[in-house]
Amino acid sequence: MSPRRTLPRLDESLLTHLPPFSKLDRRQIRTILDQATSRRYDKGVAIFDEGAPAERFFMLLDGYVRVVRVTMTGEQVTVLHIPAGQLLGIARAIGRDRYPATAMTATESIVLSWPTRLWDTFVAEYDGFATQTYKTVGDRLGEVHNRVVEMATQQVEQRVANALLRLINQTGRKVADGIEIDFPITRQDLSELTATTLHTASRLLSAWEKQGLVESKRRRIKVLDPHALVLLSQPKPDL
């Protein structure tokens, strides 16, 4: 089965609530959709690859995406997770002509894409598109900056707690006994997000499970006591 499958003609209502397009009327959204390619991607597929020419930009309609960078030693490291409703592959917004990272589907996903040659037209003609795009860029740069600061100033326990809190804030789904991260995430993913080893991330999650703070099974992580994680994410007072 092909990892990319073209979808039927999409309705304008799919975009009316998404920030880059929320200020547009249905006629404008129809024009945008008529210029888009819509595809369904299986889980674990690269939508675009780091270093490839940035020939298209994308909107994630459904699913979750991992943004992955390759280190000098050839290891893949997860940098960010992107939930549905956001643009990605927007290299043009940061003055790049190649993708700075790889976008891998964390779940089955539905994605719209447009040729990069339309980027300047969207910015010039569609109210709110540029503002929301650059806000997205700013938010992601801010998240990366915060992680750099965390790695420089926080203990591993604080970093892992902060990572889980960010994930439930961005993609959390309320369930009967807590908040579940609404996409498959492994302990390896968590270790990459926090610049620690798989052994350390696993040891912390196992300890927190015994304390009733989290539940981790079948590539799913559920936070049972968010307040306790908030306390763990804070600096320890000097004695």
Q: What is the pLDDT of residues 75-122, one digit of tens each?
A: 777 888 898 999 999 999 989 999 999 999 988 999 999 999 999 999
| CATH of span 155-233 | 1.10.10.10
| 160-200 tens-digit pLDDT | 999 899 889 888 889 989 999 888 888 888 888 888 889 99
Q: Where are the alpha helices (DSSP H) in 156-238?
A: 156-171, 187-193, 198-210, 226-233
Residues 6 or more apart whose Cβ sits within 8 Å of residue 211: 228
Q: What is the rounded distance in angstroms from the CA atom of residue 100 to the CA atom of residue 137?
A: 13
239 pLDDT more than 60: no
How much of the chain, in percent, has pLDDT values that exceed 70? Answer: 95
pLDDT band at residue 138, thresholds of 50, 70 and 90? confident
pLDDT for 8? 62
pLDDT: is 235 or 12 the higher one? 12
Domains of the chain, by residue range, sit at 4-150, 155-233
Tokens of 130: 């540029």
| Percentage of residues of the chain with pLDDT beyond 90 | 51
The answer to whether residue 46 scores a pLDDT higher than 90 is: yes
Give the pLDDT band (50/70/90) at residue 237: low
- pTM of structure: 0.77
- Per-residue pLDDT, 32: 92
Tokens standing for residue 39: 């595809």
Fold of domain 4-150: Jelly Rolls (2.60.120)
Q: Any idea what DSSP says for residue 96? A: -
Q: Provide the 10 A C-beta neighbour count for residue 178.
A: 19
**In the predicted model, is pLDDT for residue 3 greater than 60?**
no
Of the candidate ranges 4-13, 17-26, 88-97, 134-143, the one whose mean pLDDT is the lowest: 4-13
Asked if the domains 4-150 and 155-233 are classified in one and the same CATH topology, the answer is: no
